Each structure stands twice: as C-alpha cells, then as structure tokens.
Chain A
C-alpha cells in the first residue's frame, strides 16, 4: 500500500480550516509527537487513527492548547495561532467533546448548552431566552429534547449530543469528538452519526477518534494514521481497505509482512503428549472477556494478538488472578489451581508483567535493588529477609545480564528510562523463577535497542523451558516470537493459529475481518454472534 497524498481526493476543495505542520512534542524521555502534520478541511469528517500511545490524544491536546508544542506551527484559517489553554481554543472556534461527558448533570439541558454564555436581562439570567436559543440549536441538530429538562434525566447518548449542541451553539468551526461512541449502543450511534453528518454539511470540520473500525469507515471522509508519534499517512477513507488500515496502524507494509522470517522457527515445538503446564477451561469474567480455553506447555511462547480493547490484558489478568474470574477453572500440571489472588498465582509459578508500568509495576520511590527483589521477598514473607549477600549477587547478576543502566543498585527506579525500568520489572519476576511468564506489552514505549534485547530474552527463556504468554500490539513481535498465536477480538477468543505457518497478514486478516471460517483455527474458537 502506498501512502496517498490526498489533496485531490475528497469532495471539498475548500481551503483547510486547520493546518498543523511539523508538530513535535517531547515529554521527559518520550518523543510523543515527531514532525506531525494534520490538515482539517471544512465539511469533512477526519478520523484520527492509531493504536494506544500512537499520539492521537497528544495531537488533540496540541491543537486545543492543552500542550504547547516544542516545534511546529498551527494555522487557523490561514492565521498562525498558539493557544494558551482549551478556553482560548474554544473561543477561536475549536471545541472538544470528550469520552466522558463533561457537563453539569444537575443543570438543565439549556443551562448546559449556554453555560458561561447565558443571555442576561436586568442583571439576571434570562431563562426564557436561554430556553429559546437552546431549542433553536437542538432543532437545528434535529434533536427532540426539552431544553428545560434536567440533563441527568437523559441517557448518556443524549448527554453527549447536548455536549455537541454546546459546541454548535458557539459556532465551532472545528469539532473534536474523542471516542464519542464508546458508551453508546447501535441506535444511539446512528443518531450521533446523523448529527455529525448534518454538522459536516454545514461546513464544520470534524475530528473523529475511535477504536471502532466499522464506525470509522462509516462516518469518516479522510483519515490520518499515527504510529509511535509519527504520521504514517493521510488517506481517503473510500480508497482504503480495512486490512490496509490495520496494517498502517500496526506498522507493516503488506509486502514486507510476507517476507518476515521467524527468528525462532527452529525452536522445538513442544510434545503434544506432555501434560500441559497450564490448562485453562472456560475462564471468563463478565464485561472483561468471554470464557476461553487455553493450554500452554513448558518451553512454549504463546502470543496474544488483537487490537486495543480486544481483551488481551483482561485475559492475562484473569490468569494471574489480578481480577477474579466468574467462570471456569485453571489447572497447573494437571492439578486444579484455585486463583484467589496474585499470591496464589505466584505460588503456582505464574508471573505477570503489567502493561501499565507506572501504575502497576514500578515502585518509583524505591531503589533498583528493592524493586528487583520485591516479588521474591513478598513470596518469602517479611520475616525471612533475603540475606544481604544473596540480594547483592542477584541484583548484580541481573543488572549485568539484562544490561540495566545505570548499573547502580541504589538508583531510584523512577529515574530510569522506560526500557531500563522494564528490564528491572522483568528481572523482578525472573528472580522468582516462574514457570509461566505473562508479559503484557513488554516493549511498549521503549527504545528500539531495549525492544530487541527483551525479545531476545523471551526467546532464550523459552528455550530454557519457561512458558511465556506474550502480549503485544506489535504483531510482528508476536508472530516472530510465538509458537502459537491466539487471536482476540471484541473480548472474545476468535482463533488459535499454529505459529509455524502463521504470518502477520494471517493475523491481521483475522483481526480486521473476523471471518474465521477459512482459517486453521483451534478447536476452542467461538462463533461471533
């Protein structure tokens, strides 16, 4: 697929209302955006696509004045602008409707629409004028809502539309909708789309951010795809297939995908007659992941593939008992295991490296040494401290083996780079000598060198007999490392592919289409409803 420069593709030939050029934003240790361009034209719905962490939110915040870019220019109707805060952006005509409804639910619909801009009369608020003006806006959007009714009496979908009405009322030229459909059902989405289309026809430029590919294809005219803080390309929606979009988001051109060699192809596939190390039957949790079956053998790397929100992390957390399952059971070595919490999983030899490094991994104010031995010490109990010498030997060994920098055990882990933090967290589990290591996005947000080191480590560990459940948004990684790939979509396990024959495009096709019938999938697949 080639990158389409789409200047002549879309119906509108109007001058762009927003032109962002060369936007770069850097946070300590992370290049959130690098040289990003975004062009918004009046009367188009522009989808902003990318996996989590690709930079969509950062770009929106740069546009609305929440962040100040380190480099780059933004022009609004040909005039260069720099907003100091969302209020300034809003008064310039750029409105944002966030995922969580950002209104006062105890006020009336009219009060919400005109909050801060209430029509006044005789020093007080003119309630009648307020309702009249709100009714006008609502009618323009084709909404049948009583302006005097209390906002909280309406369902979330209507509240979201009221938030949009508020943006319409101030005559926004740019309307940003950040995940507007995540809490809506199908009918409500249809209603929202009707409103979006009518606004588009009035000449509003609409930025649409969503993880739902079908909706993006339904509503958008054009899309900009981000990956790792860079623009992959700008495309006209009509000229893009779903598969092409997924591959743009996840990062491989289709031709190249076919050629990827599997680095661990020769790693011995486990003997199917062995008792599997872990056998999961019907494990599930309402709202997180539907019941699934899974077997993992010693020395095997099982990859979990799927888009964000497909249930990858939820599956891992159930297996580690970080969340309680409400169905199913787990056997380790053929013996049933009662998962009562992380401690019971750890005692059974299961380790879990969370994708949320900061929130669920690091103990930022403690040293590398303390972080590294935390899980081992917790398993021993407080009364049996690890002897100082053993501790120093372990720490020294892993600092050297994983090339952790700085190599000073007393350095606070919070001050390390993302890659080195990740290595310490890996080491935290490796010292407990787990039998099944669950890695959730171990390479996210870390530099290329560390990524390669961690992948190499996973391959070595599996060769040494450890079972690994490997979760990553980077399909190339998953396919390269895994002996088997389990594909998830919409909180459901949809297929299990034997890694010896699997290619990234196979997995992508499954993720994108969900058409499982003609794939060699495992016996545990469940039909989509």
Chain B
C-alpha cells in the first residue's frame, strides 16, 4: 500500500488542473511566512478568530462569491462584466433605504433594505440574461451595457453622495463574527450550495454541455436558453450579496468605488482556477483556489512591503506564472528547456486554455518565477 498509493496520487496530481494553482497558493503563503514569521498564527479574542489567514479569507469573501457566479457564466461560454456595477447598486440601495428608514438602526430596516437590493439584483440579472439568451447579443457587449449604466444607477440612488449608516444588524454581514467572520461563512455556504446543486443534480453537466456546444445541446433537447438565463441571474445575485458585504463592512455605500474592477479579479480567479474562457468544464474548487491566490497576493504585497509603484507589476508576474504553469504547452517547454513547437490551430476545437498558448513565448522573468515556486512547493511537500 505504501508503495502503490503515492504513485497513483502523483499520477492523479499531475493530471489535475488544480495541482498547479494549489502549489502556487502554497508558495505564496510560504513567501509570507518567510517575510512575516507570525503569518500562520491565529489567536482567539472575545470568541473571534483573528490572524492574517483570516484576514485573507475575509477580504477575499466578496471576490470569491462573485467568482462563483462568474464560474457558471463562463462555463456557458459567457462573461459578466457588470458584477462590479451591481456591487455598487446593491450597497447603494440598501444604505439609502436604511438611512431614510423611520428607525435607521433597526434590524427590520436592514432586512427590508437588503431584500430590496437583492430583488433589484435579480432584475438586473434577468436583464443581462435576456440580452444574452433571448436577443443573442454577445455576452461581453450585453453586460458592458450594465457595467457602464450600473454605476450611473448607483449614483442616482445615492444622489452622488457617500451614504453612511449606523445599523448594527446590517454591519453583521460584512464585519460580524460567528467565531469566523460572517462574510466568510456566507461565501463558503454559497460555494457548498452551488457545488451541491450543480454536481448532485444534472445542472452542472447541462451547463457544461451548453458551454461546449450550444447547438448540439439544443438539438439534444437541452433548454439552453433557460440555463443561460439562470446563470446570469445567479451571477447578479452573487454580486448583490458581495455588494452587501462590502458596504456593510464599512457601513457606507460608495457608488463610485465599491466593487471597482472586482469583475476583473473574479474573472482572473475563475481562469486561474482552471476554467476555460472558451466555456465548458468548470471547477468550483479551482475558483476557490483562484480567489484565494488573488487575495493572498494582495495581502502579500502589503505585508512584504513591496513598493506601491510595482505592486501591480508584481501581481501581473505572479498571475502570468500561474497561468503558464497551467498551460500544457508551456509545461512541456519547461521540461524540455526550449520553446514549444508551434501548434497547428484546430478550428472548431477550443483548447483548454486558448489564450495562454500565446504567453508561452514570453521570455525572461516568467521561467525563474515558476521554477522557484515549484521548488518551494516541493520543499513544502517534504515538511
């Protein structure tokens, strides 16, 4: 047993799309430990768990939530650029209602406010889904409409002001604790729910089928339109809840900056997690790892004291490294120590990660970065 099991495990690990993102995450965490020895330490204070790891999870909760919705949208060959704007709208509607409620501190004001916000988010998701699945507009354009208009809507709701509220019940969503921060618990609960609903039923398989070949799916009797419509509604709802977390955490709604560029982080998390933008097979665990990588990266930049001017560059290098590690062609090239031969593009068969192949030719910092991360990962395995 002791001889057979590791071989199978190694073989399976090599085939899994998750292996490399996981190793990258471990490597990032190790970098943090080197820089800040107390990085892994957790402490309990007033029954709440504190520590850098908890901070990463807490700050990453909204991104994770949005990335979950995005995963399903991307699996249907779509994309949703409007989630950042929906974050802003959701916070704006809730805070504006609470601020104007008869008793701005009551729990009922918070509940009514957030129900209104989430209801609106469902409507916005229906709008996106309508444009994509009924009118057949390309997803990137269809959701660009709301990406642009959404912040305007949020500004109208807040009258262009930053609305601050003092509502203990509302504050729980983003800043509350139940041993762990409540926002983490919400995101993990949604992750579990999505996993159960899509993987225990046939929904996941049908979503993938629609993403890989919409016409073949339609001819096989799959209700492609309904499925596509539903995932956009779900993505908007996730963004709405994320918007509640973000505005609740600071007890304010900022129509301009809440959720700014978060759609990009979410898309990145999905892609790092191994779900192809060409649609089809998706990995929820991958998205979780992807979201954690992005958040850890942000945290690392702060704790390691990397100069703010090169923060974005640093982030970009790590992201490229992770993406390269996932590209079979780049890995083959690393193994042989030379550039890969050009692959003849096969029309009609989208490869697993079509865009990454181009990056395989990027020289310089990429190869050292990836080698070092795999080295440290091996060390981690030995400990």
Binding site for B on A (CB under 8 A): 320, 322, 341-343, 346, 352, 354, 358-366, 370, 374-375, 377-386, 414, 428
Of B200, B208, B209, B216, most buried by chain A (CB within 10 Å of CB) is B216
- Determine whether the beta carbon of B206 is less than 8 Å from that of A382: yes
| B227 CB contacts on chain A under 8 angstroms | 382
User: How far apart are B239's CB and chain A's nearest CB, in angstroms?
Assistant: 23
| B348 CB contacts on chain A under 8 angstroms | 358-359
What separation, in Å, do the CA atoms of A365 and B354 have in the docked complex? 14
User: How far apart are B356's CB and chain A's nearest CB, in angstroms?
Assistant: 16
8 CB-based A-B contacts, threshold 8 Å? A343-B223, A352-B219, A361-B219, A365-B208, A374-B222, A377-B206, A383-B201, A383-B202
Binding site for A on B (CB under 8 A): 200-203, 205-206, 208-209, 212-213, 215-223, 227, 280-281, 348-350
| A414 CB contacts on chain B under 8 angstroms | 349
Given the known inter-chain contacts A365-B280, A366-B212, please indicate yes or no for A377 contacting B205, CB distance below 8 A. Answer: yes
- Determine whether the beta carbon of B349 is less than 8 Å from that of A359: no
| A384 CB contacts on chain B under 8 angstroms | 201-202
- Determine whether the beta carbon of B208 is less than 8 Å from that of A375: no
| B217 CB contacts on chain A under 8 angstroms | 363, 374, 378
User: How far apart are A437's CB and chain B's nearest CB, in angstroms?
Assistant: 14
Which one, A320, A354, A365, A381, contacts B212 given CB within 8 A?
A365
- Determine whether the beta carbon of B220 is less than 8 Å from that of A374: yes
| A364 CB contacts on chain B under 8 angstroms | 212-213, 349
- Determine whether the beta carbon of B219 is less than 8 Å from that of A322: yes
| A360 CB contacts on chain B under 8 angstroms | 213, 215-216, 219
- Determine whether the beta carbon of B213 is less than 8 Å from that of A362: yes
What separation, in Å, do the CA atoms of A320 and B218 have in the docked complex? 12
- Determine whether the beta carbon of A375 is less than 8 Å from that of B201: no
| A382 CB contacts on chain B under 8 angstroms | 201-203, 206, 227
Of B200, B205, B281, most buried by chain A (CB within 10 Å of CB) is B205
Which one, A365, A378, A380, contacts B220 given CB within 8 A?
A378
What separation, in Å, do the CA atoms of A370 and B208 have in the docked complex? 10
- Determine whether the beta carbon of A385 is less than 8 Å from that of B213: no
What separation, in Å, do the CA atoms of A442 and B286 have in the docked complex? 39
| B219 CB contacts on chain A under 8 angstroms | 320, 322, 342, 352, 354, 360-361
What separation, in Å, do the CA atoms of A322 and B208 have in the docked complex? 21
- Determine whether the beta carbon of B205 is less than 8 Å from that of A366: yes
| B201 CB contacts on chain A under 8 angstroms | 382-385
What separation, in Å, do the CA atoms of A381 and B226 have in the docked complex? 11
| A385 CB contacts on chain B under 8 angstroms | 200-202
User: How far apart are A86's CB and chain B's nearest CB, in angstroms?
Assistant: 17
| A374 CB contacts on chain B under 8 angstroms | 205, 209, 217, 220, 222
Given the known inter-chain contacts A346-B221, A378-B222, please indicate yes or no for A363 contacting B202, CB distance below 8 A. Answer: no
User: How far apart are B197's CB and chain A's nearest CB, in angstroms?
Assistant: 9
- Determine whether the beta carbon of B212 is less than 8 Å from that of A363: yes
User: How far apart are A418's CB and chain B's nearest CB, in angstroms?
Assistant: 14
User: How far apart are A440's CB and chain B's nearest CB, in angstroms?
Assistant: 11
User: How far apart are B72's CB and chain A's nearest CB, in angstroms?
Assistant: 13
Of A322, A352, A359, A365, most buried by chain B (CB within 10 Å of CB) is A365
What separation, in Å, do the CA atoms of A378 and B203 have in the docked complex? 10
What separation, in Å, do the CA atoms of A346 and B218 have in the docked complex? 11
What separation, in Å, do the CA atoms of A384 and B213 have in the docked complex? 22
What separation, in Å, do the CA atoms of A208 and B222 have in the docked complex? 43
Given the known inter-chain contacts A359-B348, A364-B349, A365-B281, please indicate yes or no for A343 contacting B221, CB distance below 8 A. Answer: yes
| B281 CB contacts on chain A under 8 angstroms | 365-366
Beta-carbon nearest neighbor of A322 in chain B: B219
Beta-carbon nearest neighbor of B280 in chain A: A365
Of B201, B219, B281, B350, most buried by chain A (CB within 10 Å of CB) is B219
Beta-carbon nearest neighbor of A414 in chain B: B349
Given the known inter-chain contacts A362-B213, A365-B280, please indicate yes or no for A380 contacting B202, CB distance below 8 A. Answer: yes
What separation, in Å, do the CA atoms of A354 and B218 have in the docked complex? 12
What separation, in Å, do the CA atoms of A320 and B220 have in the docked complex? 11
| A378 CB contacts on chain B under 8 angstroms | 206, 217, 220-223
Beta-carbon nearest neighbor of A361 in chain B: B216
What separation, in Å, do the CA atoms of A386 and B205 have in the docked complex? 11
By Cβ-Cβ distance, the 6 closest A-B pairs, closest first, are A378-B221, A382-B203, A385-B202, A378-B222, A365-B280, A375-B220
User: How far apart are A112's CB and chain B's nearest CB, in angstroms?
Assistant: 28
| B349 CB contacts on chain A under 8 angstroms | 364, 414
What separation, in Å, do the CA atoms of A366 and B281 have in the docked complex? 8
| B350 CB contacts on chain A under 8 angstroms | 365
